[in-house]
Amino acid sequence: MNGRALLAWNLRRLRTSRGVSQERLAADAGVDRRYMSDLEREQGNATIDVLDRLATVLGVAIADFFQVPADGEERPKPLSGGRRRKR
């Protein structure tokens, strides 16, 4: 798995495990939501500054973005789409 794929895998894993949408993470980290999508689809190229901001928002170390998944580990599933119903 190359570095871009590893980042995409772990970014989605960390984000979804915390129940954070791409939109919320992007806003909190000060990056565009489209850029977040590009990173998770292995299309974007993150700088160390962006990784630092994402790690801070997620409450992890930058190194967590580069953990190699265990053999047979399933790709992280995206959060369900759509907006929440108003109460």
Burial 20-50 (b: 16+ CB within 10 A, else e): bbbeebbeebebeeebbeebbeeebebeeeb
Going by C-alpha positions, the residue among 40, 44, 62 that lies closest to residue 53 is 62
Q: What is the CA radius of gyration of the chain?
A: 13
What is the model's pLDDT at position 71?
A: 83
**What is the pLDDT at residue 84?**
54
What value, to the nearest 5°, has the Cα angle with vertex 66 and ends 55 and 27?
30
Show the domains of the chain with their CATH numbers: 3-64 (1.10.260.40)
What's the pTM value of the predicted model, to 2 decimals?
Answer: 0.83
pLDDT category of residue 87 using cuts at 50, 70 and 90: low
Q: Note the pLDDT of residue 86.
A: 52
